[in-house]
Amino acid sequence: MTALTTSDLTEIYTDLHRHPELAYAEHRTAGIVAERLRGWGFDVHEGVGGTGVVGVLGNGEGPRVLLRADMDGLPVTEATGLPYASTDTATTPDGVESGTMHACGHDVHVTCLLGAASRLAAAPETWSGTLIALFQPAEEVGSGARTMLADGLYDRIGGAPDVVLGQHVMPLPVGVVNLTAGPAMAAADSLRVTLHGRGGHGSSPEATVDPVVMAAATVMRLQGVVAREVGANEGAVVTVGALRSGTQANIIPASAELLVNVRTFDASVRERVLGAIRRIVEAESAASGAPAAPEIESIASFSAMANDPEASERTRAVLARVLEEQRGTIESAGGVPAVISLPPAAGSEDVGELATAVGVPLVYWNLGGWDPQAFAGFDLAHASGMGDLPAGVAPNHSPFFAPVPEPTLELGAELLVEAAVDRLR
């Protein structure tokens, strides 16, 4: 059995990048994954949680180790100008036609896990136990892991793992990994708010209840939640990512829709912020004389993600060893340690549910995927997050998000292999 080479990884990655698929529509990606896994001797389970794929490879007695990659792309029109840039389009569940893009690196994740799976299958003498390669749908909407679990994931594959491992490519230099033990990523809630007005002619606003004005007042008022209701020693973010209303300049519409995103680290702060949003939406609606109460619908929800401290320190040593061995061929970022530990990120992930559902440790790290030269002179150790990056380095979800395929893919596959083998002994 032959493992995937560096050129194989690049070929798979560029193909996946050209053809991103939105949450629960990852049919092409899932088919590629299933075919590859089956060719390497994995017992393949398809359609788990809709489009999820799980490959199970037994190799004697030993632990059960789960490696996870997410598969879905985003409704973002790519602007990287890369020769393999996506030109695909799709219709979102809200009925919006959009370009699609792997603007969060899930194509990197799938490729690296395929690389790791092929190498572990080709070298059974290096490990013992059961390898579970899980390719998850719908991470971007926060429900993919939950849906796979609800679809009997662990019953279907013969039992739960002893540990869940995974990685996410980020705007960090190649050769640098971030691993934050303990609380590592925020809880997230996405809401759809529908404000009801009374439509009419633009020349006679007095005969209407204008939902656009109502929505504008609500957006501005929501910006005061974090500024005035969350303490300086607490963390929260409230973002209005979309405001949709109307079709023409001289028509006052009958309703307006807001899409609101909330990030918190503490359960009590989460409850307080969500309560404040509801209070403000209802109050602005009442103040405008709305003919009907507003509707507030939860459309996505992520739990806060925490890495197991003890398991993280064990894996940290493995990652550091691999990265230090590679630094002779991979230029590092100005003396930055191979494995850093940044403060908890306001971004969110649902990978933790695969571990917490069965009470096993989670270790999830950030893989650097950018040319180290882009970080020359940048104080990476004190960076505050994706809003604090060198010029020209795009954050996740940007239309300019563009990891360098090599050596990112090769290194990402090797890190997964070594982290798994450390457990499969």
Q: How far is CA 28 from CA 18, 69, 72, 97, 125, in A?
A: 12, 16, 11, 20, 33
Bridge partners (DSSP) listed for residue 101:
74
List of E strands, 137-212: 163-173, 177-178, 182-185, 187-196, 200-201
The 3-class secondary structure across 364-390, one letter per residue, is EEEEEEECHHHHCCCCHHHCCCCCCCC
Amino acid at 305: M
Angle at 150 between CA 39 and CA 153, to 5 degrees: 30
Binding residue numbers for Mn(2+): 104, 106, 140, 168
Q: Is the peptide bond before 83 cis (omega within 30 degrees of 0)?
A: no
DSSP 350: S
Amino acid at 141: V
Binding residue numbers: 104, 106, 140, 168
Q: Answer yes or no: are the C-beta atoms of 181 and 312 closer than 8 Å.
A: yes
Phi and psi for 259 in degrees, rounded to 5? -110, 120
DSSP 206: G
Closest by CA position to 241, among listed 284, 192, 276? 192
The dihedral over CA atoms of 9, 10, 16, 18, expressed in degrees to the nearest 10, equals: -170
